[in-house]
Chains A and B, each alone.
Chain A
């Protein structure tokens, strides 16, 4: 079955380190999104991509970057991790060309702790 996976599921890192969170989907969806979820803020959009070589900034993009070299993957990089980036990160994908247009499918999340 098609799915969307994230790795690692849990990560502890130190302030200042570079961290990359992986997202892989097997639906062949064009659209991919990264969100962070924090108590009191809900889900907020970090970056998104509408296809290969396309990347866009979301609501809370400072300190994060993404790249899209193929359809299946959208890795999220924290250039220099900060304690404020401790959060749960979710990747999602969608494809408006499908019958259930606009439905977003979410990965299981990565819990990141920055010490």
Chain B
């Protein structure tokens, strides 16, 4: 059974700092991995999707990497801003190419001005 773990559960940093969020998964036979952002009281917004054939994806100040063999992904946020404060979740398919997702419990990020 696929399991997803995110460390740390919470992170507080000063504005301007570069930071890394971690995600690990138990079954490396994944088709892709997604990172989502969730603001308080809101739904999830997809940030980045990395296909299994890719090593990383970039969107603005965000860079996500994927190492299938080790079962790990990282989300790098450069020059963090207070507006980046949110909960970040990673998700992988239940198995193989399934469209059903298994989510980690998220990392709650607070960026202090």
- A and B together in one complex: yes
A45 in contact with B100 (CB, 8 Å) = yes
Residues in chain A near residue B91, CB distance under 8 A: 43, 104
Q: Which of A90, A94, A100, A103 has the most CB of B within 10 A?
A: A103
B103 in contact with A104 (CB, 8 Å) = no
Question: Is the contact region of chain B dominated by helix, strand, or loop, or is it mixed?
Answer: strand
8 Å CB contact of B99 from A42, A96, A106, A107 = A96
A31–chain B nearest beta-carbon distance, Å: 5
- Complex Cα–Cα for A92 and B45 (A): 11
Residues in chain B near residue A104, CB distance under 8 A: 34, 44, 46, 91, 99, 101
Residues in chain A near residue B46, CB distance under 8 A: 103-105
Residue interface bits B45-58, CB-to-A below 8 A is 1, else 0: 11001000000000
Q: Give the size of the chain A interface in residues (CB under 8 angstroms).
A: 25
Cβ-closest chain A residue relative to B44? A106
B32 in contact with A106 (CB, 8 Å) = no
Residues of chain B at the chain A interface (Cβ within 8 Å): 31-32, 34, 36, 41-46, 49, 89, 91, 93-94, 99-101, 103-106
9 closest A-B pairs (Cβ-Cβ)?
A106-B43, A42-B105, A43-B103, A106-B44, A108-B43, A103-B46, A42-B103, A31-B99, A109-B43
Residues of chain A at the chain B interface (Cβ within 8 Å): 31, 33, 35, 40-45, 48, 50, 58, 90, 92, 94, 96, 100, 102-109
